[in-house]
Amino acid sequence: LKHPELGDIELEYSGFAVDGRPDLSLTVYNPVDSAVADRIRALALARHPKE
Q: How far is Cα 51 from Cα 45, in angstroms, rounded to an integer?
A: 11
SS3 16: strand
User: Is the pTM higher than 0.95?
Assistant: no
Note whether 3 and 11 are within 8 A (CB). Answer: no
Average pLDDT of span 27-31: 97
Apex 30 CA angle, 51 and 38, nearest 5: 45
pLDDT at residue number 51:
64
Apex 18 CA angle, 28 and 11, nearest 5: 10
- Per-domain boundaries in the chain: 2-47
What average pLDDT does the chain have?
A: 93
